[in-house]
Amino acid sequence: MVIEATNIHTAQPQPRCEYGKTPFSEGECQRMGEVLQSDGSLLCVGHAKLMRLEAQEDTMLGTVFEMDKWLDEPNNQANNLCWRRKLRHRDETVERLRFNRTLIEAHEEASQQR
C-alpha cells in the first residue's frame, strides 16, 4: 500500500485572511492570510492593500481638516502668500484623497464580483 505524500501539505490548515473577522463571526474573505498587520491580524494581499489605502485616507482627511481650520483663521489670511501656498497644498491633498477613494472603491467592487 502506497501512502500519498501530497496529503501531508493539505492536512495543515492554511491561515485565512482575517478581514472582517469579529469575535462573533469568521472573516468573509476565503483567501490566504499572507500579510501580517501591525495589530497582529493576518490579511490576504488584496485586503492588506485596502487597509493601507484606508489608513492613508484617514491620515489625509485629518490633514485636510487641520488645514481647513488654519485657512479659516483671519490671522492666517492676512499673510496672503503663505495662505495661498497652504490652500494649494490643501487642494492637492483633496485631489490625492479623491484618487485614493477611487482605488478603495475599485477594490470593493472587485471583491464583490466574486
Contact residues for Zn ion, defined by CB under 5 A = 17, 19, 29, 31, 44, 47
Q: d(Cα 35, Cα 5) in Å, to the nearest integer?
A: 28
3-state class (DSSP) for residue 76: helix
Taking the least distance from each CB to Zn ion, the nearer of 40 and 47 is: 47
Q: H or E segment at 35?
A: strand 35-36
Which residue lies nearer to Zn ion by CB, 28 or 95?
Answer: 28
Alpha-carbon distance of 103 to 53, in angstroms, equals 8
Q: Least distance in Å: CB of 22 to Zn ion?
A: 15
**Shortest spacing between CB 106 and Zn ion, in angstroms:** 15
Rounded to whole angstroms, the Cα distance separating 27 from 30 reads 8
- The nearer residue to Zn ion, 34 or 57, going by C-beta atoms, is 34
Least distance to Zn ion, CB of residue 43, Å = 6
